[in-house]
Structure 1
């Protein structure tokens, strides 16, 4: 009887191991909902490209253990709702830009006017020690994780009445801006009359003369067809926008080390691809504007220095009331060092 009992015990133990293994295997499957509020069109939307690149990388490198489900075009809400969903763990990941300061005031530091002299310098700063420290501060303050920094791009002026070559040309002009204190402060410093208007209403406001001009990255200007009602564009690059790729802490902690590396690496690949595509969109946009009869002006070094001298000090003073002044000094030093190493 004893041998039979031992045999049964062995079979039972094997069955338990088998069941346990099946349970572990089942638990190794993860669903990652990735949301953003931009268009889902890969031909025009940088965030759609970013999400698609990430999904493909994760699928390939995880062997299908992570199922990335993309919800674009605001399917899960606007940027604020997306980030709130990530923070609360309802959404695993999200792509957002302007709304980030509402969750982490330190995000405003990259909006210092005329901070980055080129996208090459911006890449070095945001991919380097400064960007890593900013992501760590973000995690400490919010509990969320930032996988990488993408690119909204440089913001430029457009106008319908007259070209803008210096701050003097902005004096008295009504410029449509986002309804944020930083941009309002910046436009006032440049002599303009900042006029907050919802983006969907901007085209009509430009067309009817409610405002004289606006400011946005070139791809946005093309997407919204502002070139139809704005025949002057000034490539001054007064602000450089950042996309954040945020990840839920709950999801972050649920991943085994190997899959966490897959997600982290895929994020970096996605951000790099987004920057590349966005710069292509920008180059194509400049050509489109020329074809549409828009006069595109690139300020001289002296003119840019004049813009910078007018806009930077007031905005920096404003920022010092909102964020740690050391963060401002840190990014300015990082930009200086990166520019010197070009």
Structure 2
């Protein structure tokens, strides 16, 4: 090798090492995806993502790029991106049970009597155990739990006070067996229809009613197509703020602590915005003429007694060995309710 060639090789080696050092010194960028609008004042996931970004960027050298409104795909696509490491952080709800079936027990109807009970269960030993189980199953670490809110029935025919009032009515449901079993158990006819087709189905009488959180009903003007709402809160929807664990493990211990704290705060922020939009939406739909009914404790017990058994039976068959999570959730709710009563 000539002196010139050796010199060039040496310079090339120095530049290579220098470039590597520069790359390593650059702040890492975290892609954060969710399906809700970006407006934090009215979007639960939007609010959670925004405060997560602010905390992480103000306390670390990390950068958080937000991808709201399904810009990276639907929840199923995004959770797979998180598993693959393409989008390290995502916030999803129903898609979690697709990759961690045990999470599906949270959708058992009439399991939580209030959001406070749900929060205590998820923020306690049960939530910790479920997060660890799902981490082992998916490689996704749960940084925090948010909420999509309680779902309620609406219809265009008459008030619903008891399950008997649901007989003969057709309700649009998601194409999920749990929801089909629940509505059938209550004596109504479940009709799976795509979300995009729901307004037309309600307008043309293909279905008599539907079920969704109050905020979703109001923000999508479904109250203009329905006359009655029953605040039965049949399913409490949970948001999961997730991070690819391999990505997480490569961060410094100090940065990991910041992300863990930011995740818990983000989940609580999402809960707060969801509660706010629920209260605002409930007031608005009544002011605009919708009749809203709140079932009594005895009436809710009747709903629970009819809806839970078929759903739990279906879940036990579907979960197999993981059906133990049904009983673990029941125990956690019972313990929390007892503590609350005291």
> Given the two structures, how large is their TM-score scaled by the length of structure 1?
0.91
SS at match of 2:113: coil
- Does residue 205 in structure 1 map to residue 201 in structure 2? yes
Aligned to 1:146: 142
> Structure 2: how far apart are the matches of 1:266 and 1:188?
41
> Structure 1: how far apart are the matches of 2:168 and 2:151?
20
Shift of 1:322: 1.9
Shift of 1:24: 7.9
Aligned to 2:10: none
> Structure 1: how far apart are the matches of 2:214 and 2:293?
13
Shift of 1:148: 1.2
Aligned to 2:90: 94
> Structure 1: how far apart are the matches of 2:56 and 2:313?
43
> Structure 1: how far apart are the matches of 2:26 and 2:139?
24
Aligned to 1:229: 225
Aligned to 2:261: 265
Equivalent pair of 1:203/1:224 in contact (CA under 8 Å): no
> Structure 1: how far apart are the matches of 2:88 and 2:323?
32
Larger mean Cα displacement after TM superposition, 290-299 or 243-252: 243-252
Alignment of 1:156-171 (within 5 A): 156-171=152-167
Aligned to 1:246: 242
1:264-294 deviation per Cα after TM superposition (whole angstroms, max 9, x unaligned): 1100000011101110000001100111111
Aligned to 2:56: 58
Shift of 1:91: 0.7
Aligned to 2:274: 278
Please point out which of 283, 288, 293 is paired with 1:287.
283
Alignment of 1:65-214 (within 5 A): 65-214=61-210
Shift of 1:231: 1.1
> Structure 2: how far apart are the matches of 1:170 and 1:41?
36
SS at match of 1:91: coil
> Structure 2: how far apart are the matches of 1:230 and 1:312?
26
Unaligned runs of 5+ in 1: 1-15
- Does residue 339 in structure 1 map to residue 337 in structure 2? yes
> Structure 1: how far apart are the matches of 2:280 and 2:29?
36
- Number of equivalent positions: 323
> Structure 2: how far apart are the matches of 1:26 and 1:40?
31
Larger mean Cα displacement after TM superposition, 79-88 or 22-31: 22-31
Shift of 1:181: 0.6
Shift of 1:98: 1.1
> Given the two structures, how large is their TM-score scaled by the length of structure 2?
0.91
Larger mean Cα displacement after TM superposition, 33-42 or 74-83: 33-42
Aligned to 2:296: 300
Unaligned runs of 5+ in 2: 1-13
> Structure 2: how far apart are the matches of 1:269 and 1:28?
27
Shift of 1:197: 0.8
Runs of at least 4 residues of structure 1 off by over 4 A? none
Aligned to 1:31: 29
1:277-312 deviation per Cα after TM superposition (whole angstroms, max 9, x unaligned): 110000001100111111110000110000000001
Larger mean Cα displacement after TM superposition, 50-59 or 27-36: 27-36
Aligned to 1:9: none
